């Protein structure tokens, strides 16, 4: 039995290689670290190599600090670790090393004599050490004369941590940075996080939520930010902060926060000076302003550039920090009745004329698509409008709209649709990765940011599998041409084992996961059809997309669906792209199916390039996506015993949960649109569920029938709840199905407000008992209602069922959760329903 693991070391476990590989390995004798400053990433690199050799090869090495102290012993390998400059100063030969970019490294292996890990700077040295260790841990050979350079200098993480310790869109437990409005005392997890970041070459972090709070800048927190910076600095990770625009008013009591007001300027100057006393290497400020109710320069009649330059000027005085201004500026009170209105237009409208007005240490951070981290979006056209102002592309590792870590969704295939997209600016090749790398417009500082939102759970993100996205994000920011499949295979070998069955299984499930998720959530560019008006952004709620000011509209009615974003008849959004791309999206015929409904409003009977109608594609994709999810848990089952039990079970539980919730998605979306357009599924599936027994049709004691809102979140629109919140209810019926072996599924609602308990019996035999405690197990809030977020399924496999026996479910309510039940399914082998 393999010992249980909790995920804390993620892909840096340094698990021992197989004994035959260990015995064939070189004997490492010593590590010569060319820095003895224990806050230097060079020193960190040496200690990490020492730790890795101990774990991977069971070899113990000493750390020495000078070339002079070293004399080569027979057949033993010395590892030299330092910057190129340090190595050359110490008398080492650096003539054969080609020039490296900032953070780049040189890794050189001379058989059984020496390994050189030399960085362009200290950070690069550390990255080289991690490269060496990660090859070693996978049993891959260490190369000779290998150089590696980053695609872009900025490779940052954004954490949306609040000072009270909660995390906006965090699904891995409370903050590792803040608690009770102050920086935490114990920052052990913060330095562990920096270690993970450094291992995938991420070099900066904004530590607090873009929806910031003025208390971040209290004297106690300035000191605390200094401690965070100290905890991360040995790993080459620099910190920055997100600011609340109105801090001059709310913290200092000034009458205004007008960016041109001298007292406001002086205030930010003072704060910036104080912050630099604690964090001399601050990377800068992230600003979300005039967005979703946040104040900003527009509040004071000033331009966005005037707002950004206020901070830029303050930063310039104290260091090399930058202002990162988020392009996520839009009006969330748009009038849907006007067909010209379009939130997707906002970023370009706000920023296109600002390009020459920003100070030279201002960057604009642009979400990959024009709306908000949806399952499929076209590339943000703003990337084609900034020539002078450098850009950062914003991804989201936190799966806000992508299953919130309770659904597996490996994101690189999605990221690649953006990074590889050629915007054809001025008729020239302009793939997004060459824009953000700085190559296309000759920017010195630009790059990548991702909202990650790790928390204090030992899994970091709330799910072991979700960590592949953090790993992959680092790999892509370094090299956007990475291959998604080899990245997941590397991650799997490091995180679990090199066993080919494990590597193949994790890799195939991961590679299928995003297209599968898209299939059972929102197809053809209609966006993730989840609840958007409340804060949840999780389960299905297609009607919430329309009828409000948020502008994530689908414009679905009885006849048609989709946003007309053409120049000819729609919102004009397509015209924000460079000419070649604008032409492509302007016409229905040249718009790819996967973005059809993003750009065009069409009848449900519109034929796709595949030959299917839009509505039939919706039905089919939802059935195929949900059916594919059903295969994940059984495929995972084959790994029992090949990885430790703790992580095996943790993942199995989530895959089984996802299988159930994907059916909730499938049925909700399909029934919603069938109801809307009245067009039946050609295959007769939608609305017909022959293996179900609806709870509302059973004999009820202590239970009563209720209507569910929205109707599509319940099979048949109805469910049952107990009539009191302290007495159990029972639902009974006679089993109408032929005697045989079935999987028995119970669909119920598990919402906040209590933990109900359930018991299922057939013919007097207890089949299973369970509790409605998903929010505790899955680490995120679902909903306090019976709806598409809280609807879930538990399944009992291979149950002997006798026709005519009594099925009985008893439910014990708790708090406001009234042991709600939707239906029971008896599924013969191979049937998904
Ligand atoms: C290093 O030495 C070991 C044991 O003597 C040998 O098996 C291995 O092939 C050598 N490796 C290289 C790269 O020369
Ligand atoms: C998604 O649905 C489409 C349309 O039915 C189908 O062609 C494709 O194979 C599905 N892919 C997955 C991974 O479910
Ligand atoms: C189900 O029935 C089969 C054959 O009657 C029997 O072998 C098996 O043990 C039963 N399984 C359970 C779980 O009772």
Distance, CA of 113 to CA of 26 (rounded, Å): 9
Is 70 among the domain residues? yes
* Mean pLDDT within 499-511: 98
| Same domain as 164, residue 143 | no
For residue range 794-804, what is the model confidence (pLDDT) as tens digits? 999 999 999 99
| Same domain as 733, residue 804 | yes
Q: How many whole angstroms from 741 Cα to the centroid of ligand 3?
A: 9
Q: What was the pLDDT predicted at 69?
A: 66
Distance, CA of 146 to CA of 752 (rounded, Å): 53
- Is residue 682 classed as helix, strand or coil in its secondary structure? coil
Final residue belonging to a domain, choices 123, 148, 173: 148
Contact assessment for residue 158 and residue 197, using Cβ atoms and an 8 Å cutoff: no
Q: Judge whether 400 counts as a catalytic residue.
A: yes
Q: What was the pLDDT predicted at 73?
A: 64
| Same domain as 354, residue 338 | yes
The pLDDT confidence band at residue 68, using thresholds 50, 70 and 90, is: confident
Q: What was the pLDDT predicted at 71?
A: 66
Is 794 among the domain residues? yes
The pLDDT confidence band at residue 74, using thresholds 50, 70 and 90, is: low
Final residue belonging to a domain, choices 94, 117, 148: 148
For residue range 269-284, what is the model confidence (pLDDT) as tens digits? 999 999 999 999 999 9
For residue range 175-213, what is the model confidence (pLDDT) as tens digits? 999 999 999 999 999 999 999 999 999 999 999 999 999
Model confidence at 65: pLDDT above 90: no
The pLDDT confidence band at residue 67, using thresholds 50, 70 and 90, is: confident
Model confidence at 817: pLDDT above 90: yes
Distance, CA of 433 to CA of 377 (rounded, Å): 16
The pLDDT confidence band at residue 587, using thresholds 50, 70 and 90, is: very high
Q: Which ligand is nearest to the CA of 144?
A: 1
| Same domain as 726, residue 656 | no
| Same domain as 211, residue 144 | no
Q: What was the pLDDT predicted at 616?
A: 98
Instruction: Name the active-site residue from 161, 372, 377, 694.
Output: 372
Q: Which ligand is nearest to the CA of 593?
A: 2
| Same domain as 661, residue 556 | yes
Say which CATH number the domain at 609 has: 3.90.1330.10
Is 297 among the domain residues? yes
* Mean pLDDT within 678-692: 98
Final residue belonging to a domain, choices 125, 148, 171: 148
**Would the CB of 628 count as within 6 Å of ligand 2?**
yes
Distance, CA of 541 to CA of 552 (rounded, Å): 13
Q: Which of 93, 34, 91, 38 is nearest to 64 (CA)?
A: 34
Q: What was the pLDDT predicted at 720?
A: 98
- Is residue 271 classed as helix, strand or coil in its secondary structure? helix
| Same domain as 379, residue 276 | yes
Distance, CA of 99 to CA of 124 (rounded, Å): 13
Q: What was the pLDDT predicted at 72?
A: 64
Structure tokens at 174: 């409370």
* Mean pLDDT within 155-171: 98
Say which CATH number the domain at 766 has: 2.60.120.260
Q: How many whole angstroms from 116 Cα to the centroid of ligand 1?
A: 17
The pLDDT confidence band at residue 142, using thresholds 50, 70 and 90, is: very high
Domain that holds residue 552: 542-563+601-677
Q: How many whole angstroms from 229 Cα to the centroid of ligand 2?
A: 46
> Structural domain tally of the chain?
4
Mean pLDDT of the chain: 96
Q: Judge whether 394 counts as a catalytic residue.
A: no
Look up residue 335 and give its DSSP letter.
-
* Mean pLDDT within 498-508: 98
Q: What was the pLDDT predicted at 38?
A: 87
For the CA of 109, the nearest atom of ligand 1: 13
Residues 6+ apart with CB under 8 A from 228: 177, 183, 187, 190, 207, 239
Distance, CA of 513 to CA of 505 (rounded, Å): 12
| Same domain as 134, residue 40 | yes
Q: How many whole angstroms from 522 Cα to the centroid of ligand 2?
A: 12
Model confidence at 158: pLDDT above 70: yes
**Would the CB of 613 count as within 6 Å of ligand 2?**
no
Is 10 among the domain residues? no
Is 202 among the domain residues? yes
For the CA of 77, the nearest atom of ligand 1: 1
Percent of the chain with pLDDT over 70: 99
Lowest mean pLDDT among 70-79, 652-661, 807-816: 70-79
Q: What was the pLDDT predicted at 337?
A: 94
For residue range 96-135, what is the model confidence (pLDDT) as tens digits? 999 999 999 999 999 888 999 999 999 999 999 999 999 9
For residue range 352-385, what is the model confidence (pLDDT) as tens digits? 999 999 999 999 999 999 999 999 999 999 999 9
Q: What was the pLDDT predicted at 51?
A: 98
Lowest mean pLDDT among 56-70, 619-633, 763-777: 56-70
Instruction: Name the active-site residue from 5, 122, 258, 400.
Output: 400
Lowest mean pLDDT among 67-76, 146-155, 305-314, 490-499: 67-76
Nearest CA owner, ligand 2 atom 4 = 621
Q: Judge whether 372 counts as a catalytic residue.
A: yes
Percent of the chain with pLDDT over 90: 94
Instruction: Name the active-site residue from 37, 263, 292, 320.
Output: 292
């Amino acid at each position: 039995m393999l010992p249980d693991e909790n995920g804390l070391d993620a892909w840096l476990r340094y698990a021992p290689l197989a004994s035959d590989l260990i015995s064939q390995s070189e004997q490492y004798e010593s590590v010569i670290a060319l820095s003895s400053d224990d806050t230097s990433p060079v020193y960190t690199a040496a200690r990490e190599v020492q730790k890795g050799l101990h774990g991977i090869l069971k070899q113990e090495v000493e750390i020495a600090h000078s070339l002079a102290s070293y004399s080569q012993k027979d057949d033993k390998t010395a590892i030299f670790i330092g910057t190129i400059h340090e190595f050359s100063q110490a008398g080492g030969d650096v003539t054969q090393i080609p020039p490296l970019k900032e953070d780049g490294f040189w890794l050189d292996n001379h058989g059984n004599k020496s390994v050189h890990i030399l960085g362009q700077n200290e950070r690069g040295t550390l990255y080289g050490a991690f490269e060496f260790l990660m090859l070693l841990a996978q049993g891959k050979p260490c190369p000779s004369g290998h150089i590696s350079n980053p695609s872009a200098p900025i490779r940052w993480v954004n954490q949306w941590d609040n000072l009270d310790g909660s995390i906006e869109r965090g699904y891995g437990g409370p903050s590792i940075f803040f608690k009770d409005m102050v920086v935490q005392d114990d920052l052990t997890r913060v330095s562990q996080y920096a270690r993970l970041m450094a291992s995938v070459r991420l070099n900066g972090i904004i530590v607090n939520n873009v929806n910031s709070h003025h208390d971040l800048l209290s004297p106690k927190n300035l000191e605390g930010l200094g401690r965070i910076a100290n905890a991360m600095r040995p790993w080459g990770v620099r910190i920055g902060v997100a600011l609340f625009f109105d801090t001059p008013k709310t913290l200092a009591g000034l009458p205004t926060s007008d960016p041109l007001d001298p007292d406001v300027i002086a205030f930010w100057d003072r704060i910036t000076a104080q912050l630099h006393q604690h964090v001399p290497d601050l990377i800068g400020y992230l600003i979300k302003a005039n967005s979703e109710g946040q104040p900003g320069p527009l509040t004071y009649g000033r331009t966005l550039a005037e707002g950004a330059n206020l901070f830029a000027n303050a930063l310039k005085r104290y260091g090399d920090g930058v202002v990162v201004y988020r392009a996520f500026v839009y009006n969330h009170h748009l009038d849907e009745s006007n067909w010209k209105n379009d939130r997707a237009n906002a970023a370009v409208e706000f920023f296109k004329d600002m390009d020459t007005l920003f100070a030279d240490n201002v960057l604009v951070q642009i979400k990959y698509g024009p709306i908000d981290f949806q399952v499929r979006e076209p590339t943000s056209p703003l990337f084609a409008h900034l020539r002078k102002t450098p850009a950062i592309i914003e991804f989201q590792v936190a799966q806000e709209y992508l299953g919130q870590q309770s659904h597996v969704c490996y994101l690189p295939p999605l990221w690649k649709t953006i990074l590889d997209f050629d915007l054809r600016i001025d008729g020239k090749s302009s793939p997004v990765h060459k824009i953000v790398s700085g190559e296309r417009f000759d920017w010195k500082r630009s790059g990548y940011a991702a909202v990650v939102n790790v928390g204090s759970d030992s899994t970091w993100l709330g799910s072991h599998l979700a960590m592949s996205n953090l790993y992959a994000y680092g790999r892509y920011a370094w090299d956007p041409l990475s291959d998604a499949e080899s990245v997941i295979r590397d991650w799997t070998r490091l995180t679990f084992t090199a066993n080919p069955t494990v590597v193949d299984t994790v890799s195939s499930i991961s590679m299928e996961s995003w297209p599968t998720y898209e299939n059972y959530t929102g197809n053809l560019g209609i966006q993730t059809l989840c609840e958007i008006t409340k804060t949840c952004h999780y389960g299905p709620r297609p009607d919430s997309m329309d009828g409000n000011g948020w502008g994530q509209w689908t414009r679905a009615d009885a006849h048609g669906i989709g946003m007309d974003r053409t120049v000819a008849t729609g919102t004009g959004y397509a015209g924000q792209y460079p000419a070649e791309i604008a032409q492509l999206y302007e016409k229905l015929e040249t718009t790819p199916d996967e973005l059809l409904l993003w750009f065009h409003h069409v009848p449900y009977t519109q034929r796709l390039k595949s030959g299917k109608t839009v509505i039939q594609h919706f039905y089919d994709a939802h059935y195929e996506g949900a059916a594919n999810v059903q295969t994940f848990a059984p495929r995972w089952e084959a790994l029992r015993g090949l990885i430790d039990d703790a992580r095996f079970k943790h993942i199995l539980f989530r895959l089984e949960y996802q299988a159930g919730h994907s059916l909730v998605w499938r049925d909700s979306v399909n029934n919603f649109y069938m109801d809307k357009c009245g067009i039946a599924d050609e295959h007769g599936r939608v609305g017909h569920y022959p293996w179900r027994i609806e709870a509302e049709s059973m004999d009820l004691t202590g239970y009563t029938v209720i209507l569910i809102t929205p109707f599509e979140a319940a099979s048949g629109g109805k469910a049952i709840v107990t009539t009191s919140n302290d007495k159990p209810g029972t639902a009974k019926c006679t089993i109408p199905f032929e005697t045989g072996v079935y999987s028995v599924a119970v669909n119920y609602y598990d919402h906040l407000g209590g933990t109900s308990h359930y018991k299922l019996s057939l013919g007097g035999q207890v089949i299973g008992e369970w509790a409605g405690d998903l929010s505790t197990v899955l680490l995120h809030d679902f909903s306090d209602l019976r709806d598409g977020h809280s609807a879930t399924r538990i399944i009992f496999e291979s149950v002997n069922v006798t026709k005519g026996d009594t099925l009985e479910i008893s439910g014990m309510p708790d708090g406001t959760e009234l042991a709600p039940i939707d239906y029971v399914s008896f599924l013969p082998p191979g049937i998904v329903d």
